[in-house]
Amino acid sequence: MAPPMATMTGPTVGLSEAAKLCRVSESTMRRRRSELLKIGAQHDERTGWRIPIAALVTLGLLDRVTPIEGAATSQVTDVATTPVGSPVDGLVIDLRERLTAAEHRAAEAEIRAAVAEAVARERGAALDAERSMVRALTAAPSNMPVPVASEPPPRRRWWHKRA
């Protein structure tokens, strides 16, 4: 079943902006250009790509956003567009800033965790090496006889003849 045709009344983005929004590469967006064109995206040499957000939602390219079964795209477009300067606009900006900060903190935490794991592996390897050195330097097991240094034989005096 082909997705419904999106209207161009909602906000539109360029190809690279759409790729960033969807967290995919630009080449992925280019590979899906035929689907985008069928759904309502426009492309010309002068203005470039104009991809409606609703088309990205309809294709399921946006993270955590899937189209509702049987819902018309215009409903998604109406919800996606709010007048600039509305109270929702400030809330959206605040939420985006908070999301960006949370993603930044999560990325830093992942880096710190990776570094900590690498340090732990290095310390574990060093500890294993130290354990093997200690085993090599420790006394022989108790069941093995330990050589005891004996006193040297008494020194013969020059006036004693050999027998």
93-109 pLDDT per residue, tens: 888 999 999 999 999 99
The arithmetic mean of pLDDT across residues 11-23, rounded, is 85
Q: HEC profile for the chain?
A: CCCCCCCCCCCEECHHHHHHHHCCCHHHHHHCHHHHHHHCCEEECCCEEEEEHHHHHHHCCCCCCCCCCCCCHHHHHHHHCCCCCCHHHHHHHHHHHHHHHHHHHHHHHHHHHHHHHHHHHHHHHHHHHHHHHHHHHCCCCCCCCCCCCCCCCCCCCCCCCCC
State pLDDT tens for residues 115-135: 889 889 999 999 999 998 888
> 73: which residues sit within 8 A by CB, 6+ positions away?
3, 4, 5, 6, 7, 39, 40, 54, 55, 57, 58, 67
pLDDT for 32 beyond 80: yes
Whether domain 12-80 has CATH 1.10.3470: no
Q: Lowest mean pLDDT of 57-61, 65-69, 110-114, 140-144, name the range.
A: 65-69
pTM: 0.36
- Per the model's pLDDT, the better-predicted residue between 117 and 88 turns out to be 117
Report d(CA 15, CA 27) in Å as an integer.
10
